[in-house]
Every structure is written in structure tokens, then in C-alpha cells.
Structure 1
Amino acid sequence: MLFSIIVPIYNVDRYLKKCIESVIAQDYSDFEVILIDDFSTDKSLEIARSYEQFPKVRLITKEYNSGLSDTRNIGLTEAKGDYVLFLDSDDYIEEGCLSIISKLISINNKPDILYFGYFEEYENVAQEMKKFGYVSKPNLLYTSKEFLMSELKQRNLYAAACFGIYRRDLIINNKLYFKKGIFHEDELWTPQIVFNANTIFASDYSYYHYLRRTNSITKKEDKTKNALDIIQICYELDHIFKNVDTRILKKYIDNHIAKIYMKGISEGKLDGKKYRKYVNRFYPLKKAFFLKDRLKALVFAINLKLYYYLNDLGL
């Protein structure tokens, strides 16, 4: 079996049918779709059960809600395909995409990771934008180090796991599961999966339709936990990559960590006295490498509120 499509489900009854239909309507047969319901309280489970009649569909139900990371990990342990595709249950995939992707896998010598473009859509807006998470030159096969150097040199390493397809044995053999109980789990997972890969293909093909929902978790006002989780993620990445033996790559990785540290704390607005024990204002300044990020880190160290203001302006 070539593909295992993992679909975590939690309270998405408005979107779930479109998501599942986009998979089972594919003109390609060598796949399975694993639906994992994370103890939904709406009609999501009822909708998912209506697809159990399809031989390629497996439904797993959980007895309590434990979050996206745990749900994806269950899918990974159950998956049988050579490649894993993560599909959020409010999103959907392009008609005929699995046939195209299977050919790309074959002609590029079965790379460990394939990255693609995606279509960004907004609820109640009849418009979509084609975007790419990566910034490297497309339609090339990279080594892990080449891809990391290319992306990080351009101050980029897009974290969303859904915009890539991954060899299952790369994940399982390296025990690259998603950390449970945190937000922004992809920020921790993506650098590790890229670093552990042998080859990565960057395609200019787009198949994933990403819906920005008006009531999604990214729209919530209180992002304190988001910021605290980002701090934890940065320290973990720091530890994971502390022994990188290529000096310039280590500087690029450090700069990436500084960027997400500043961005996470800014979005969480951790400037109150009760958060002082969590926020190290000088941490990014020690790690930032590129001039633009060093200047940001300097402002971050001197005046957090000024940094938040400038960040909100997009500077």
C-alpha cells in the first residue's frame, strides 16, 4: 500500500463530509484512510461512521479527548502505507491528486519527504490563494542538509505537517511522533523530520485545500498557553540540535529558534509580571544570526511592549 491518509476528527461536522469525500473519490486505489475521532461532542462521529462501509476507510474512536498530537500518533501506529499524509478534517484534497503524487514519488526515487504547495481558502469567501510553505527552488531533489540550508538561509522553515508527505518508516524508525499536550506541535516536529530525512523533493504541484475557519483555535484571543508552549518547544529544539556539526547550519538553526521564540511570545503577549520567570528577553539575542533578526532581538531584549507593537505592524 502506498498511502495512509490520517484524518484526526474533533467537532467538525460542518466540514467532515467534504473532507472524506475528497479522499474516497480519488481515481487511485492504493491507499487507506484512517479516521480517528477525538471524542467529538457534535455529529462528527455519526458522519464518520457512515463511511465505515467503504473498504478503504478505517474508523478509530477514542474514549476521551486528548488533542491533535495524540490523535495523529494513533494514526501513525495504525498506518500500513509506505507514505503518510496528514489531512485535517476541515480541509480537503484535490481531485486526482494521489495519482499525480504517486508518479512524483516514483520518478524521484522514492524520497523520504515530498513538499507541495497548497490552496488557502477562507470561510464564506469564494476565493482561494495558491501558496507554498517552502521557498527553495521547486522540482528539485534535495538532501536533508541541502534543503535545511536553503530554507534557513532564507529565514524560512514552514512548520505545517499537512503540506508534506512522509515515508512512514522515517517516522517510525526515528520515533518522530508528535509531542502530546502542546500547541504548535508542528514547530517541534518539522525541523526533526527534515533533519532526519535522506532526500526531500520540493514540488510545484498543489493539492491540499487549507481552510481558515472563523472559529478555529488560531483565532482565539487568549494565547498564553500558545506562547508558553513555544518557549518549551524552543528549548527542546535547542537541546535536539545542540551537536549539529556544521557551524553555519547550527547558526541558521539557532536563528530559526530565535525567530519562533520572539514570535510566539509576542502573539501570547507575555509581558506581565507573572510571566517574567518564563520569558528570557536575552535568549533570542544570543541566538539570532541574520541582521534583521538580531535587530528584532535587540528590541525584544530592551522593551517587550515596543517589540509587540512593531511585530503587530508586521515589521
Structure 2
Amino acid sequence: MGLCFSTAGRARRPAPSLYFAREDDIINRVSVGFFRREAAAPRTGAAPFRGLSLRRTGGLAVPQISIVVPVYNVERYLDQCVKSILAQSFADFELLLVNDASTDGSLEVARKYGFDRRVKIFDKPHGGLGDTRNYGARRATGKYLLFVDSDDWVEEDMLRDLFSFAQAYRADLVVFNYVRENAAGPGSRVCRLPLRYPEFGRQAGERIIAELVGPDAEDGPWKDAEMLGSAWRRMYLRSWFVENGIAFGDERKIMLEDLPASLYAHCVARRLLVVGGAYYHYRWNPDSLSTRYRPHRMEMLTACFSLVERILRSQGRAEQYEQRHLAWFLRSAAHSSLVNCFSPKNPAGFRGRWREVRGILKSPLLRRAARSDYLSRGSRADRVVLHVLRLRFTAPVYLFYRIYSRMLRKRTSRG
């Protein structure tokens, strides 16, 4: 595994939406009649993080904030991203543009900004998003560290406000809110955590850890907390980030490569602050949720589950969060992988998709998770998903997800 963690030097954290957009009512509609027709159904290790090392600055002034922007084939969006950072009302920062062997004109766009002394441009062999973030973090020199994805943009007062909050509370980790921008058309939505701001201390930290591990069984104010595991949703004290060996995984081997790193960060944070500002604009593409196909999705999400489980064990939290984590596997791994099988971009025909569905149902981890009754206390959509995933036979599961995926695409296309 490319992502793990070390415990040395430690004094002792599209997680994406639980279902795709508008899924609850679709699941409920597909289940009506489906279960009328159905008969009753029969009931690892990783290597440690490579710690980052602090760099000497050779007497040069150290910026207060380092912003790492991984760049890969974003020629269309990079200008907007960089301009929003250079227009900050807070000027004491460095911007690291790290090109990950883009095949379009992204590197040329980045080089246009080389005139600004705050901008550093790097060109590296392709290694994926996690590797590119790690590369930038190793070369950052600021007191605080931020990550911004190259197709997104930020508010002009983001750095000023986050720096002021971090200094006032002497925070290791600052979490903030964001605006979800619809890339497929007009419309945006402010996404906030259901807290009183600013929230400082252990109570908020424990609540975020719980949400990163898995969902609440019952509906509540945290049910719609989205993108909580994203690297870009927090600012880190860089010395603390380095000392704890925080790093991101290889997205070619693990999906949601920033989730385990974010969980680990929250587990070891001594001074956590959550602020109310929605400073980050996240470009969200609803079409990709129902149409994008990702080969080996189940295996890559299983790898993410296993790594999170290992982190929880190392922190003495595995038993406390076991049921929530198994619920995450059912919703975010098994359910989404079955939807993935029926993507129109899946080149497989009937036989190939049948094998994919059958392979998912044979997962020992799925069988373990399906034995949990945690989701039986949840919404009707949760109970339907739990019922379907408990089925041992490929045919009814194949039929359910074939119908469900078609309905999801139609609903998404209508907006």
C-alpha cells in the first residue's frame, strides 16, 4: 500500500456523499415492486508513512502559508485557480504549482505566473494526485500548509481569515466549509458542518472523526456532510504535519486517497479548530456520479477501508467505530461499486457485468458488513440497500442495480 502512517514522535482523522445525488428516493422507487417479485433471500498490513522533513531556508524569509496545487491536465481551469490565489488579501504566502506530467497545456499555463516571486513551479514524472501533494508538501517552507485542487478556486480573504484563526487559537488543524459549484450548469450550494462557529476542542474533533469513519444510522444534521475527508478542506500547521508523518496515498491503488490521511490527522490533532467560513469553491460534476466508470473500484475502496481500519486499531478506536465503518463499506464501497458496474462507460457486456456483480457479492468483507444491523435503523433507502446486499444470489442484485442505475442516470440528466 502506498498510504500508511507512523506513530513515531506522536504525543499519543463523490467522506464523500453516502449515496449519489438524489439517490434516496430512487432506491425507494426501485424497491417498490422489486421486493414484491422477490422471494425471501437466504440469510491486512501496510508500510509506514515516509515522514516529511523540515527544510532549512538558508536565511531567506519563511512565508506564513504554503499552498500546494497539484496540476494535471487542467489547462481549461488552471487560470481561474491561480488568479484566485494570487488575488488574496493576505500576501505572505508561497504558491507551489506541481505539474504531474500533464499532456495538455497545463504546464505552459503555470509558467505564465513565474514572474511572481511567490510562485514556484515544479515539473515531475506522473505519480497521481496523492504523490503530487506529497511532492509539494516536502518542498513547502511556510508555517501553515494548504492544498487546493487545480480545477477549483478560493475566496480572496481565505488566507487572511484562516491565518488569523490559526494564530489566535494556536491550532494544529483548521477545518473550514466550502461552496459546491455545479460544473454541469448554473447553481451552487454552501456546504457547512452543523456546528457552532468557531468550534474549538475535543468535542468537534470526535464528531468529525466519527463522520469520517462512517455515517450515522439515523437521519440527522450530519447526514449531508459532504467532502469531509478531502485534503483541501483543512489547513495544517506544517511542523505538526511533518512530525506526524502525514502523507497521501497512491490513487492508482486506493480510492479516496485523502480520506485515511485526513482521519489520521484528526486522530493526532491536539488543537483542532473548525471555522464557519465557506472559503473554497469546489467544482462538482453531477454527471460523473452516474456515468463515470472506474475499473477495480471495489478493490480500491476495500484498500481504503482496510487502511482506515488499521489507523483505528493503532489509535485504540477500532471497536468503538466498527459498526459505523462497516456501514461505510456497504454504502460507499459495495453500493457504489455495483452502480459502477452499470455505467454506460463500462465496456463489458452482459457476461462481464454479471461477473463483476458476482465478484462483489463474494467479497468476504461485504459478507461481514452485511451481517451488521447498524443500517437497519437508518432511512428506508438504507434498509433497502442492506436488504439487497444481503442477497446471496447474483440475479436479483444484478436486476436491482441495472434498474436503479438507469433511473439514476435519467434523474441526473433532468437535473
TM exceeds 0.5? Answer: yes
Q: Which of 28, 36, 41 is residue 90 of structure 2 equivalent to?
A: 28
Separation of aligned partners in 2, 1:215 and 1:42:
23
Q: Is the 8 A contact 2:309 2:318 kept in 1?
A: no
Answering whether residue 86 of structure 2 is matched by residue 16 of structure 1, we say: no
Unaligned residue ranges in structure 2 (runs of 5+): 1-62, 217-221, 342-355, 409-415
Name the aligned partner's letter for residue 52 of structure 1: G
Q: Secondary structure at the match of 1:27?
A: coil
**Paired residues for 1:62-81 under 5 Å:** 62=124, 64-81=125-142
Separation of aligned partners in 1, 2:285 and 2:391:
36
Q: Hey, what does 2:296 align to over in structure 1?
A: 225
Q: Secondary structure at the match of 1:4?
A: strand
Answering whether residue 251 of structure 2 is matched by residue 162 of structure 1, we say: no
Q: How many residues align?
A: 306
CA 215–74 in structure 1, closer or farther in 2 if over 3 Å, else same: farther
Q: Hey, what does 2:308 align to over in structure 1?
A: 237
| Superposition misfits of 4+ residues, deviation over 6 angstroms | 309-314
- C-alpha displacement of 1:297: 4.8
- Per-residue CA deviation, residues 137-163 of structure 1 (Å, 9 max, x unaligned), is 4311022x6522466277368211211
- Per-residue CA deviation, residues 108-135 of structure 1 (Å, 9 max, x unaligned), is 2x21111111011112533321112x44
- Per-residue CA deviation, residues 172-198 of structure 1 (Å, 9 max, x unaligned), is 111111112322102222211110111
TM-score, normalised via structure 1 length? 0.85
Q: Is the 8 A contact 1:266 1:311 kept in 2?
A: no
Q: Hey, what does 1:140 align to over in structure 2?
A: 199
Answering whether residue 104 of structure 2 is matched by residue 39 of structure 1, we say: no
CA 302–275 in structure 1, closer or farther in 2 if over 3 Å, else same: closer
Q: Which of 178, 191, 201 is residue 118 of structure 1 equivalent to?
A: 178
Q: Which of 239, 244, 248 is residue 174 of structure 1 equivalent to?
A: 244
Q: Which of 275, 280, 298 is residue 208 of structure 1 equivalent to?
A: 280
Q: Secondary structure at the match of 2:366?
A: coil
- C-alpha displacement of 1:227: 2.5
Separation of aligned partners in 2, 1:30 and 1:185:
30
Name the aligned partner's letter for residue 160 of structure 1: S
Q: Is the 8 A contact 1:139 1:201 kept in 2?
A: yes
Q: Hey, what does 2:46 align to over in structure 1?
A: none
Q: Is the 8 A contact 1:22 1:95 kept in 2?
A: yes
Separation of aligned partners in 1, 2:404 and 2:206:
25
CA 223–114 in structure 1, closer or farther in 2 if over 3 Å, else same: same
Unaligned residue ranges in structure 1 (runs of 5+): none
Q: Is the 8 A contact 1:117 1:204 kept in 2?
A: yes
Answering whether residue 210 of structure 2 is matched by residue 152 of structure 1, we say: yes
RMSD: 2.9
Question: Greater CA radius of gyration, 1 or 2?
Answer: 2
Higher strand share: 1
Determine which structure has greater relative contact order: mean sequence separation of CA pairs < 8 Å that are 6+ residues apart, divided by chain length. 2
